[in-house]
Each structure stands twice: as C-alpha cells, then as structure tokens.
C-alpha cells in the first residue's frame, strides 16, 4: 500500500492522472508556461508519511475504545491519522504536499453500530476528547479537520447501508456513510433516483451531503439536500434526536433543519430518510443554447424560472470566459459551427453556453423543453442541440479531478461559490470577477448551476500560477479578499459548499451577533462539553 | 359599539348569521333535532363583557408603555382585554359564550414601529411582564391566550404594511399584521399572487401564518408557508435576528426555520419576505372527479403526486361521509346526475369527491389536467367537470363560519388535522374515524387537502350534540382521546394548525426528551426571562 502524502490528497481516481491537451494549451497561453514548466513537479508530496507526534490518547483510553468498536476499527498509525487530518480545501492540499500535518486526529475509529457511537460519545465526554464525524472527507471548507486532535469518526466503513426503500412513500432510509454511487445504483435498480449529484458525488457520502447542506447538479429540479431530507436520526452528546418522515408538519419548528448544515458540530447523524423519485432516463429531455452575452442569458434563466411551467433539473450557464475555455478545450474553436455562430453574431469572449435537462414524465419533459426553447429564442439564444449536454453529463464529475494535476505544475486553482438574488446577480458577478482578475495572470471562469425563482448561485473557478515558496499565504490572502468581495457585494457566504473553518471568520458579520448567539446556544445544549467537531467550525466556540 | 361576549367570538362576518337549509336538515336527521331545538339558543353569550379583575399592571408602568406607543395604542378597558383573551379554539368559544375569562391580558398594545416593539420588549423584560404577539387571533390551538396576563401585542393596527413588491426577484416584503385579503389584493394589482390561502385567510395575518406554520388551500402546488418564506426579521428579547432573502444558502443551518412554527415564543416577527408568483387566473385549469371509494381515490392521488409532471395547486379529496354530506347540502341527491352516478356504480356512502385546480402557464395547466384525468380514469374516477370546483372556490372560506351558528343551537363542532405517510393513511383514517364515531350521535367527515409525494394530511370535522351543562369537560375529554388516537396511530400532532397550548401535552411524547430540551434551549437563549407567549405554548416552560 502506498503511504505517501500524495496518496492522501489524490482522490485515487485515474481521471486525475494527466491534463487534457486543451488545458495544457490554456495554461501555456495564459501563464506563459513552456513545456519545461510542465516537467517540473511542484510540491509533489511524494515523501512517506511520518508524523512528529504519537497519538496523545493514552493506551488505557485507547483500550476502552477498542473494547467498544473492536481492534480492527480503532487505528492510530501515522498513515491512518494523516489521511484523516484534512479535507479538500486548497490549503489542505498545500499542507499535504509539503508534508505538514499540525493537528492530525489521535485516533481513527470506524464504529459498527449506532450503539457504539453512543458509547464513544459518552467516553469522549467523560475524557474530554474531541470527535469529528467524517464521510468522504471531501469538504472544501475545512469542515473535517481536527485542530484539537481527538477522534476522526469514520462512518464509511460500516455505517454505509441502505436500510429501506419505501416505494409507497417514495423514500429511502440510508446510513450516513453510504457513498453517492452506491446509493444511486441501489435506487436505480429499484427504479428510483435520489436526484442529488454534487460535484463530489463519487467520493462523498449522504451524511456529508446533509451535514454540509449541499446541492447537486440537478438541484434546480430536485432541490438542495434540505428539500430532500424527510427525517434524521442524530446521536448528540445530550441524547438521541429522531425526527419522523411525515411529509410535512406544524409541530413547532422544524428540527431537521437544525441538523442540515450543522457540519458535525451537534452530533453524529446515523440515518437519513430522503425523498426519492422515479428513475426514467428514457424520458429525459436535453437542450443547449448559446447566448450573445451573460446578461441576456441570465434574464432568460430568470424568465424560465418564473414562468410557471415547472423547472429544469440541470440548469447551467457558463459565463463568457468559461464558455470560451470550454470551447477551446473541447476543440470547438474554428470548427464549422464556431464560424457559423460567429457569423450570426455570437462572438467569442461574449457568448455564453447554457445546458438544460428535464426529468420526469415524458410529455412533461417535452413540454418544458419546448417552453424553454421558446423563451430562449426570444432572448436571442441559439439552440445548439442535445449533444453538448449529453457529452457534458458523461464527464460531469471530472472537473474535480483537474485540480491536483494543475497543482502538480504549480498552478493554484480553486472554486468559490455564493448565492444571490436576481436583482444583484450581474453586479455581484462583475465585482467578484473584477476582484479575481485584479491578480495578474489569473484565469477566471464563472457559471450558474443552481437556479431558483428568486435568484441563483454563482460559481467561480480561478487558475493562477502559485507564488512559489509562499504558496499558502499568497492563497489565503487572495481567498480572503475574494470572500470579502462576495460578502461586501451582497452574496451569501456559501450556496452549497458550507462554512467549515474556512469561512467561519465571516459568520458573525454575515449573521449578526444575536444569530451567532443562537447558533452557539443550540450547540451548547446538544454538546455541552464542546467535543463535536470543535475549533471554530461555523464560527462556533 | 357592541360589547357583548358574542361580539368577540363571532368573526363579524355576515356568512355566519344563519345555517343553510341543508345543514339544518343534516342536524335534524343525525341528532333528532326538531324545529323547536333550533329556536333554543344555547350559551348565546349575549351578556355585556365585564371582567372581574382590573389590569394588574400598575399605572406607573402603564404610563411608560403609553410613552412608548401613544395613549391611543395602549388599552386596558374590559372589552379590549376580553377581546384579546382567546383565539378560536372550541374551548375558547365555550368560555366566551359562558362569559368566563380567567386570564385576560392586562394591556393591549398596538405598536406603531419596530423601534417601539424593541422598547416594549425591554420594558417587559425589566418588569417581568408576559407578552404575546397576535394577529387575527384565529388560532385554533390556544396559541394566543395570556395565562400570565401581561400584554397582548396587536400587530394588525399599524404593522400591516406591504413594504415592497420586487418583481425581479419575485418577492414581497410585508409586515406581520397584514391580513390575507389586503396582501393578496395588493399583489393581484401588481400581477402577482401569494398563493397562501388558509381557511382563515380572511381573518388571519402574515405573521400568524408564519408563527403557526400554516398551509393554504393551494399548498399542494405552492407549498406550506415554510416553503414561501425567504427572509424574516424578528425582535427577540436577546436582540434582533434578520435573515437575508437569498434564494438558498449553506450558511450553517437555516434560522428562518426556527421562527416558522415558533408561535410567538421566541420573539416578534416584524417583517416577512415571501416568494410570490404570477397571477394568471385565466390559465387556471379545474377538474373534479367522483371515485368509487376512498381507497382507490387516495391511490390515485398518490400516483398523481409521484408521476413527475408537476403538482396540482388545489388538491382535495372528501371521504365518503363528507362527500355524501356535501351532496345532500348542495341538493345533489336524487338529481339526474346522482341517479346516473348510482347507475354507474358510484354508490352513496362509498363514493368520494375530488377537486383539482392547476395554476401557472397555460399549456402547463392543460397538460397537468390531461395527465390527472388519465390517471383518475384508470383508477375508476368519473370526471365530473370544472363546475363543482369553481363553485367550491366561490365559497372556499365559508365552512369556518358554520361553527358559531351550530354552537348557537347546541351542536359541538370542531376540526382536527394531522399528516401521515401514504403507507399509513388508510389505517390512520380508519382508526381516527372509529374513535370519533365511538361517540353516539356524531357526524364525522374527513378530507385530504394538502398532498405530497410522500403522504398527505387528513382533516377531520365532527358534529355532535353538546353535553349541556358539561360542555367543556365533555369536549376536552373527547378531544384528548382524538389526539391520542392520532398520535398512537402514527399521525403528526398537526399538519398546519400548530401546537399552541391545546396540543402541548403531547409534545414530549411526540418529539422525545432531547428534542424538547433543544426547543427549550432555543427559547431560553432568545427569551431568557421567559416573557414571550409563556405558559406551555408548544410545551415550553
């Protein structure tokens, strides 16, 4: 088994092994990279993992944990600890590439049952040991690290079962450690779909989706995870909270909503009941459009969302730079279609690409597509067929695997996302773009991928050469200015990545003092000793 | 001005003045009433309001409240206090009819501004005075009474403005004291609709809708109020919490959802931002069906909700007794259509009536109607045209005005509602029906009026002669057994009426101890002195 730092920060997916030709050309062109630059490996992280400190949990306590969970499920070797020290925040990857792990967990425990989790939590309370529940460790907001050491509670090894598909109620009950593909495969085999396809789908878990309040690529139709969760069971240090899967209630306020987005700070989610929908890919309708500019395309999106004929499921709009980048990478530039589009006035550097898919009943998907085509045409959208969407869907998760090979050649690359109301969308997009482009040699792309009647998200991707030798501070400064730009221009701190520790410093400014006091009071009630994912997650004490 | 108890419990609506002929016949038939019985007036409440105790807030304190809110907005005359002592719970009406008001508020204050509310809350904290924010006082769950006396904070007099209709974002920002018709009229004039039409619409306010977590008649399409609220501003004793109207976020957990359903226990909601939709009644599609029985009709409902072509807005199914009652009252029995239906096997006492309306884009509403007709036909539903729905909509709020004239003649009548998953719906309906019918001379009707992919609500209406002289205990015993029947058979305590004090005794059984501790901790954080709507609301201390 490979035990390098590199083996930790890599997803272990073969799609991340090399860069596409189009990307290499982009980097050469934008950053004046030469072939030589692509041969130098920057912060490759190929050294063997070796931690400075042994686990600080004494043997007598470790023995108690082993009694609870079994010796094969309690690990404190360097590699196990190192591989649970970080998520996928850009800074995490830098630390791993440098072989710097300041605060690894002391133990990695993989509980087999809910009862074991209860016992582990009890022991952690008695001994004041921090505990962080983790799934796929794909947090990009520093949500899973262990600044106080303690336990990384791995839910993926055993608590990954699909407990019950109820086709009458159209629900599934599932354990938190189930990964996206396993859940979706099981549901598809039963004729259903979960409808939740975050970018991290292949390496993230149901528990993580709920804890981080995520959204999938089809969220415009299916909703964010908070719209899918009907019931939860959560082991908190204060006891068990279990909600029921009623379709709706007026039983005081909705407790599900307190755990969705709680990022492990309140307890361990041990089961989730989700809405499911019929899986009928043969009914899916697809459409792609090219618009003359971002403004007309966003107006079209808004009109579609407010038209009252239902929503597309996938609804995505790349801004002009992202569109141009995609066209370049996919070899579209100077093709016949490209020349045709240019002739029609869809100019590179201005034109924007929109993707649509609609799921459900066949006549319904056809009607919605027809309606969308009509509105798009009116807004100057050129219908470019189904194929671009279908092609995109085939590689829908790939962009997540681009980051590591780019970092290998010294390119800083990250994504940040926000949500905004329609009447502020163009302003926010402009201001954040301006900020990002104020850094020299920076390639900035943006898209909208989660759309609502009242607004949308904005998702920014940037590529820029690392400031070598000063990679971390350089990144953190840039990132901090970026969040300021979003916050000061009326965007939310996050639409679906969550807050973690990365965005925690902005929480009080965003929420206000009284609201932060309320969040803390909820935390204090359920976790009076402060053992659950401690250390500033969500800005909590 | 009329100052009888009767003037308080009556809505003041002329539709409640007399009973329809059909209702009179039903009562005669079911309860062996004679014409004489209809002449006796039972607990008529015609005496002048006279309270035993003066306000217990001393003059010096009253003077401070007057300084804040102005003398015309601070009242402590008997009638003002009496008319803010109760909501519309059946027991409330009995007390008022008897002229018994044990715990009226000491003051009724109608603040003019948010600033005044802040000052009032501060003073209440200093002097330990209870305060209950109220809107239309239409609570049917004892949510607005004042067991500790103190202040009834009337938000309808001044804080009733529609602050901003934003047609780009498709939102309205409104003050809590705005009544349904005023809001809807304003929105219609702007080309929009709120889509929230609770039974109490004409006499309830936006703040009440949010506080009690209500649902409107078109909720199957538009969602419950929790799906409509984008942002809230709430003055709590601990400070102000204001959420933003982002379309969605992942900023920790959703604080809106803590105030929706809080029933005045956490603070005073001072503004609400709601989603709005285009108002296009010309596009509405209507359909009604008669089914052979409740079972096949509910299966049809489920199939429609899970079919993936969108949802109807109004979606309603009366069970066989409610259907028979409606047919009798509306003079349908023995009509040509009735005979035709009977011939076709739609038998009285078994057949069930379903109403559908669909709103939105014209082609969409037509498609959904077509789809629904197809599924209904397959389930044995007989299409009975648009007219019954249109007729029903004309009198959509009337049933609320039936209760008082029935009580006038000694008929106990009340409604209780729950939600349930599809796989338990028929069982719950049967069990609750059996319980209700175990009382002699009781007419029990039920319907489904809020439908989901995963289940539906059940709404029970019962009529039974009062046990004269022992009206209250008789009712409370019967009601208590009813809630037990719902709870023990897997229904929620409420789908949209809320909990108040009437259902508070079941809360811990329903939610569990840890969850109740969490509710209490939230309360204690925002309202450390326990002044907000105190006295067991939601089962809180």
B40-76 pLDDT per residue, tens: 988 999 999 999 999 999 999 999 999 999 999 999 9
Burial of A503 (0-12, 13-18, 19+ CB in 10 A): buried
User: What does the DSSP 8-state code read for residue A49?
Assistant: P
**Which B positions 181-210 lie with beta carbon below 8 A of chain A?**
none
Name residues 342-371 of chain A within 8 A of B (Cβ): 359-361, 363-364, 367, 371
Q: Tokens for B281, please give them.
A: 């009644």
Q: Alpha-carbon distance B367 to B364, whole Å?
A: 5
Indicate whether B457 pLDDT > 90: yes
Give the mean model confidence (pLDDT) for residues B361-367: 98
d(C-alpha B474, C-alpha B129), whole Å:
34
Q: Which of A265, A258, A268, A320 is nearest to A295 (CA)?
A: A320
Q: pLDDT digits over B133-189, tens only? A: 999 999 999 999 999 999 999 999 999 999 999 999 999 999 999 999 999 999 999
Contact assessment for residue B499 and residue B241, using Cβ atoms and an 8 Å cutoff: no
Flag if A226 and B359 touch (Cβ within 8 Å).
no
- Which of A253, A265, A516 best tests the B interface by mutation, with the highest count of B CBs <10 A? A253
Among residues A17, A97, A107, the alpha carbon closest in space to that of A59 is found at: A107
Does residue A331 have a pLDDT over 90?
A: no
Cβ contact, residue pair A364, B525, below 8 Å? no
**Confidence at residue B14, expressed as pLDDT on a 0 to 100 scale:** 83
- Which of A419, A454, A511 has its CB closest to that of B275? A454
- Of residues B334 and B381, the one with the higher pLDDT is B381
- The whole-chain average pLDDT of chain B stands at 97
Residues in chain A within 8 Å Cβ distance of B453: 170, 247, 275, 277
Among A59-73, A278-292, A505-519, B8-22, the least confident range:
B8-22
Nearest by CB to residue A492, choosing from B249, B309, B510, is B249
- What pLDDT, in 10s, does the model give residues A440-470? 999 999 999 999 999 999 999 999 999 999 9
Cβ distance of B251 and A364 shorter than 8 Å = no
> Which residues does chain B have within 8 Å of residue A280's beta carbon, measured at their own beta carbons?
308
The mean of the pLDDT values for chain A is: 97
Residue B445, both tokens? 């009707």
Structure confidence at residue A87 (pLDDT): 98
Burial of B287 by CB count in 10 Å (0-12 exposed, 13-18 middle, 19+ buried)?
A: buried
**pLDDT at position B18, please?**
83
What local confidence, expressed as pLDDT, does residue B527 receive? 98
- Chains A, B: CB contacts within 8 A come to 299
Q: In what order do the strands lie in the sheet with B443-448?
A: B382-383, B285-291, B352-358, B314-318, B443-448, B455-465, B411-421
The pTM of the whole model exceeds 0.90: yes
CA nearest neighbour of A249 among B135, B259, B417: B417
Whether the CB-CB separation of B408 and B280 falls below 8 Å is answered with no
Mapping DSSP to helix (H, G, I), strand (E, B) and coil, where does residue B448 land? strand
How distant is the alpha carbon of residue B452 from its chain centre? Answer: 19
Task: Find which of B216, B252, B256, B507 to mutate to test the A interface (most A CBs within 10 Å of its CB).
Answer: B252
Which residues contact residue A112 at a Cβ distance below 8 angstroms, ignoring those fewer than 6 apart? A69, A70, A73, A158, A159
Note the pLDDT of residue A315.
98
The DSSP call for residue B305 is: H
Q: At what angle do helices A294-305 and A362-378 cross, to 10 degrees?
A: 140
Does the pLDDT of residue B16 top 90, yes or no?
no
Residue B12 has a pLDDT of 84
Tens of pLDDT, residue by residue over A274-304, are: 999 999 999 999 999 999 999 999 999 999 9
CA dihedral A468, A473, A477, A480 (to 10 degrees): 120
Residue B420 has pLDDT above 90, yes or no: yes
Taking residues A136-158, report their average pLDDT.
98
Spatial neighbors of A361 by CB under 8 A, at least 6 apart, are A283, B307, B308, B309, B371
* Chain B residue with the nearest C-alpha to that of A368: B364
- Å between B433 CA and nearest CA of chain A: 20
What's residue A384's pLDDT? 97
User: Is B83:B3 a contact under the CB 8 Å cutoff?
Assistant: no
How large is the average pLDDT for residues A243-259? 98
Q: Which of residues 272-291 of B touch A (CB under 8 A)?
A: 275, 277-278, 280, 283
Average pLDDT over residues B310-338: 94
Other CB atoms within 10 A of residue B23 CB: 18
Tally of residues, chain B? 541
What integer pLDDT is reported at residue A440 of this predicted model?
96
Q: Which residues in chain B are closer than 8 Å to A121, comparing Cβ atoms? A: none
HEC string for A125-190: HHHCCCEEEECCCCCCCCCCCCCCCCEEEECCCCCCCEEEEECCCCEEEECCCCEHHHHHHHHHHC
pLDDT at B333 over 90: no
Are the C-beta atoms of B458 and B448 separated by less than 8 Å? yes
Tell me the mean pLDDT in the region B493-510: 98
Contacts of A517 in chain B (CB under 8 A): 238-239, 525
Nearest Cβ partner of B251 from A280, A310, A492?
A: A492
What stretches of A386-469 show up as alpha helix (H) in DSSP?
387-394, 403-408, 422-437
Question: Could A242 and B512 be called an inter-chain contact, meaning their C-beta atoms sit closer than 8 Å?
Answer: yes
* SS3 of residue A502 by DSSP: coil
Report the pLDDT value the prediction gives residue B148, as an integer from 0 to 100: 97
Measured in angstroms, the CA of B511 and the nearest CA of chain A are apart by: 7
Contact A239 B513 (CB under 8 A): yes
Which of residues 380 through 399 in chain A touch B, CB cutoff 8 A?
none
Across the range B464-473, mean pLDDT stands at: 96
pLDDT class of A70 with cuts at 50, 70, 90 = very high
Q: Give residue-wise pLDDT tens across range A396-436.
A: 998 888 999 999 999 999 999 999 999 999 999 999 999 99
Q: Which of A314, A377, A320 is nearest to A353 (CA)?
A: A320
Number of helices and strands (H, E) in chain B? 22, 18
What per-residue confidence (pLDDT) applies to B189?
A: 98
The pLDDT of residue B13 is: 84
Mutation for testing the A interface, residue in B192, B234, B250 having most A CBs under 10 Å: B250
Q: Return the bridge partners of A461, or none.
A: A415, A445
Nearest Cα neighbor of A267 from A378, A118, A403, A459 is A118
Contact call for B248 and A360, based on CB within 8 A: no
How many angstroms away from the CA of B241 is the closest CA of chain A?
6
Residue given tokens 């309830």 in the structure block = B204
In terms of residues, how long is chain A?
541
Q: Do B499 and A250 touch (CB under 8 A)?
A: yes
Which of A140, A248, A489, A509 to probe by mutation at the B interface, max B CB count within 10 Å? A248
DSSP per residue, B113-163? SHHHHHHHHHHHHHHT--EEEESS---SSS-S--TT--EEEE-SSSS--EE
* Residues in B touching A361 (Cβ below 8 Å): 307-309, 371
Q: How far B350 CA lies from chain A's nearest CA (Å)? A: 24
Rounded Cα–Cα distance for residues B161 and B145 (Å): 25
Q: List the one residue out of A536, A531, A538, A541 whose CA is nearest residue A152.
A: A531
- Measured between CB atoms, does B488 come within 8 Å of chain A? no
The pLDDT of residue A387: 96
Q: Which CA distances in Å does A84 have to A87, A107, A137, A151, A315?
A: 8, 9, 8, 9, 35
Confidence of residue B450 (pLDDT cuts 50, 70, 90): very high
Map B351-379 to HEC letters: CEEEEEEECCCHHHHHHHHHHHHHHHHHC
Mean pLDDT of A8-18: 87
Inform me whether the pLDDT recorded for A13 exceeds 90.
no
Q: Hey, are the CB atoms on A419 and B213 less than 8 Å from each other?
A: no
Share of chain B above pLDDT 90, in %: 95
Residue of chain A whose Cα is closest to the Cα of B422: A169
Shortest Cα distance, chain A CAs vs residue B194, angstroms: 14
DSSP E strand stretches across B180-284: 192-193, 229-236, 239-242, 268-275, 277-278
C-beta neighbour count of B114 within 10 angstroms: 16
With 0-12 CB in 10 A as exposed, 13-18 as middle and 19+ as buried, what is B154? Answer: buried
Q: Record the tokens describing residue A118, joined without a space.
A: 């209860």
B293 touches chain A (CB under 8 A): no
Q: Do A246 and B420 touch (CB under 8 A)?
A: yes
Q: How confident is the model over B281-294, as pLDDT tens digits?
A: 999 999 999 999 99
Residue B180 has what pLDDT?
Answer: 98
Which residues make Cβ contacts (< 8 Å) with residue B223, sequence separation at least 6?
none
Averaged pLDDT, A181-209: 97
Q: What ipTM score was computed for the predicted complex, to two decimals?
A: 0.97
Lowest mean pLDDT among A228-237, B20-29, B139-148, B522-531: B20-29
Distance CA A61, CA A63 (A): 5
Task: State the nearest Cα–Cα gap between B65 and chain A, in angstroms.
Answer: 25
Q: Report whether pLDDT(B357) > 90.
A: yes
- In what order do the strands lie in the sheet containing B239-242? B162-166, B171-174, B268-275, B229-236, B239-242
Q: Calculate Rg over the CA atoms of chain B.
A: 23
Å between B342 CA and nearest CA of chain A: 31
What is the least distance, in Å, from the CA of B81 to any CA of chain A? Answer: 27
Annotate B51-76 with DSSP letters as a single string: -SS---S-HHHHHHHHHHH-GGGEE-
Query: In this structure, what token pair is assigned to residue B370?
Result: 């077509």
> Is the CB of B452 less than 8 angstroms away from the CB of A245?
no
Question: Does the beta carbon of A245 lie under 8 angstroms from any beta carbon of chain B?
Answer: yes
Backbone angles phi, psi at A343, to 5 degrees: -60, -35
Q: Nearest 5°: phi and psi at A5?
A: -60, -40
């Amino acid at each position: 088994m490979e035990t390098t730092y590199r083996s930790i920060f890599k997803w272990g997916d073969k799609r991340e092994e090399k860069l596409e030709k189009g990307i290499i050309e982009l980097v050469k062109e934008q950053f004046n990279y030469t072939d030589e630059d692509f041969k130098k490996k920057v912060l490759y992280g190929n050294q063997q993992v070796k931690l400075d400190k042994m686990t600080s949990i004494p043997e007598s306590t470790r023995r108690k944990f082993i009694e609870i969970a079994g010796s094969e499920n309690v690990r404190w070797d360097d590699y196990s600890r190192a591989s649970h020290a970080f998520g996928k925040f850009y800074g995490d990857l830098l630390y791993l590439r440098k072989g710097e792990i300041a605060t690894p967990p002391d133990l990695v425990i993989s509980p087999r049952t809910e009862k074991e989790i209860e016992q582990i939590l009890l022991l952690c309370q008695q001994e004041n040991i921090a505990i962080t529940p983790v799934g796929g460790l794909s947090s990009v907001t520093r949500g899973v690290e262990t600044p106080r050491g303690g336990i990384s509670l791995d839910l993926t090894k055993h608590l990954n079962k699909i407990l019950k598909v109820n086709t009458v109620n159209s629900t599934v009950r599932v354990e938190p450690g189930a990964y996206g593909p396993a859940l979706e495969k099981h549901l598809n085999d039963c004729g259903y779909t979960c409808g939740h396809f975050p970018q991290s789908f292949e390496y993230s878990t149901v528990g993580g989706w709920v804890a981080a309040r995520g959204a999938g690529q089809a969220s415009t139709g299916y909703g964010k995870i908070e719209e899918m969760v009907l019931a939860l069971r959560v082991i908190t240090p204060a006891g068990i909270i279990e909600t029921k899967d009623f379709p709706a209630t007026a039983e005081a306020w909705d407790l599900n909503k307190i755990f969705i987005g709680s990022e492990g700070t309140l307890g361990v989610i041990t089961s989730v009941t989700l809405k499911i929908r019929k899986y009928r890919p043969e009914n899916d309708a697809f459409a792609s459009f090219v618009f003359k500019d971002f403004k007309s395309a966003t107006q079209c999106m808004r009109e579609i969302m407010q038209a009252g004929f239902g929503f597309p499921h996938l609804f995505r709009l790349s801004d002009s730079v992202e569109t141009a980048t995609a066209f370049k990478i996919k070899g579209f530039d100077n093709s016949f279609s490209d020349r045709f589009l240019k002739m029609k006035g869809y100019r590179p550097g201005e034109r924007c690409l929109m993707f649509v898919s609609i799921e459900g009943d066949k006549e319904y998907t056809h009607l919605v597509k027809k309606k969308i085509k009509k509105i798009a045409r009116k807004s100057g959208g050129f219908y470019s067929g189904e194929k671009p969407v279908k092609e995109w869907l085939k590689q829908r998760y790939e962009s997540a695997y681009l980051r590591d090979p780019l970092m290998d050649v010294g390119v800083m690359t990250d994504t940040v996302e926000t949500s905004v109301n329609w009447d502020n969308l163009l302003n926010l997009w402009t201001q954040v773009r301006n900020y990002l482009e104020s850094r020299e040699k920076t390639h900035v792309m943006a898209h909208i991928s989660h759309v609502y009647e009242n607004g949308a998200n904005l998702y920014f991707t940037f590529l820029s050469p690392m400031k070598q030798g000063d990679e971390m501070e350089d990144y953190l400064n840039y990132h901090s200015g970026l969040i300021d730009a979003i916050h000061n221009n009326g965007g939310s701190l996050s639409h679906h990545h969550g807050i973690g520790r990365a965005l925690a410093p902005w929480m009080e400014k965003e929420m206000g003092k009284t609201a932060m006091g309320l969040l803390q009071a909820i935390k204090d009630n359920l976790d009076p000793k402060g053992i659950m994912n401690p250390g500033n997650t969500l800005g909590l004490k």
